Amino acid sequence: MRIALISFDFAEYCIRLANALGRKLEIALLLPDMHAEPHLPILDSAVKFQPFRKPRLRQVLQQVGMVSSLIKSVERFDPDVVHVQQGYMWFNFGLPWLQRYPLVMTVHDPRHHIGDKSSQKTPQLIMDFGFHRADQIIVHAKEMRKILIEGCHISSQRVHVIPHIKIGHDLAYGQQQEEEECLILFFGRIWEYKGLEYLIRAEPLITSRVPKARIVIAGQGEDFDRYRRMMVHPESFIVYNEYISDGALSDLFRRAAVVVLPYIEATQSGVIPLAYTFRKPVVATTVGGLPEMVEHGRTGYLVPPRNPLVLAKAIVRLLKDKQLRRQFGMNGHRKIDTECSPDAVAEKTLRVYYQTLADLNRAENCTVTRATGWQ
């Protein structure tokens, strides 16, 4: 079987999936060159890697040229299945030119998040067009499946839940970096839906119980000034309001005692698999698919959103109990090794490919039967 795996983001995710699939299938991996470059050392030589340049969203002529080139690359490879990650505004316009190929789509976010201005540059209608064009859809949480079935009116038989693949494990080994017992990590894009303001509001409650506690905020997104104005004790925060390289990411997760996701709205999160990879406990809110990823009292704690008091209590409990942190971290590490290894995710993805082809073959046979009258 030949699979064309196409994505405009999620480079490490795609490379790890392609490597695992490539042990059983013939894989062509099409990724933007700049996104893929940091992860090329882990790319398996068996994967046919085809980099492309991803223009800025408003560069219309360059975008049309990129889509045309991608379509030609797919046609030359002539896959049995095209597998697209999430979709992309300009590429979705080109999907009708690929309609002869069965399409699988992994949907990372079925709906735009609150305040996420970058994703909102693409109208939801265009993303929904791609979702409906797909023969089969993969999501990472049951809550996402529900959104697609009820919100997008997609048949339940077409939507499959497969865990987020384990990422970052090469960064978790090698260098030795001691945990800083009072370090709290908030990592990732900074948009309203991430609920950062509630972690900032929780800080006085945390430092009143653990005076040495420090909160690291690492990532970029919306204007950070409003968050700075919320800080009661600015000296309790360490802020990296910038793109975080792999080296810096590794250092941050190694040093962290607790990883916190105070989201007010979510579908799933790639931060939780990263935390588990680095053997870190997680405190997350009960929104979207996060409760499916965090086992309360085993890999971390789940708390209600928009509640600084309960959030602070969960964080303090972990900061004050080193043995509990280590146990939760090990439980998370075992969970991701078992459920989210590249081989485990690839095996489940392979089943979706086979189902895609089987369903299309049945549909074609039914068409022939109706046309000829043969039973």
pLDDT digits (tens, 9 = 90+) for 316-360: 999 999 999 999 999 999 999 999 999 999 999 999 999 999 988
Whether 80 and 103 have beta carbons less than 8 Å apart is answered as: no
| pTM as predicted | 0.85
pLDDT < 70 positions in the chain = 112-120, 169-177, 365-375
> What residue segments make up the domains of the chain, in order of their start?
2-165+341-372, 183-339
Residue 370 has what pLDDT?
45
**Sign of the four-CA dihedral 265, 268, 271, 272:** positive
Backbone phi and psi for residue 119, each to the nearest 5 degrees, phi listed first: -75, -30
Query: Does 183-339 match 2-165+341-372 at the fold level?
Result: yes
* Three-state secondary-structure class, residue 67: helix
- Give dist(CA 138, CA 146) in Å, integer: 12
CATH class of 183-339: alpha beta
Taking the chain, what is the end-to-end CA distance rounded to the nearest angstrom? Answer: 30
**Sign of the four-CA dihedral 274, 333, 293, 217:** negative
Token readout for 174 is 């090698």
* Three-state secondary-structure class, residue 202: helix
Q: Between 196-209 and 308-319, two packed helices, what is the crossing angle to 10 degrees?
A: 50
Q: Which of 308, 317, 216 is nearest to 262 (CA)?
A: 308
Backbone phi and psi for residue 106, each to the nearest 5 degrees, phi listed first: -90, 120
CATH topology of domain 2-165+341-372: Rossmann fold (3.40.50)
* Three-state secondary-structure class, residue 7: coil
Whether 261 and 290 have beta carbons less than 8 Å apart is answered as: yes
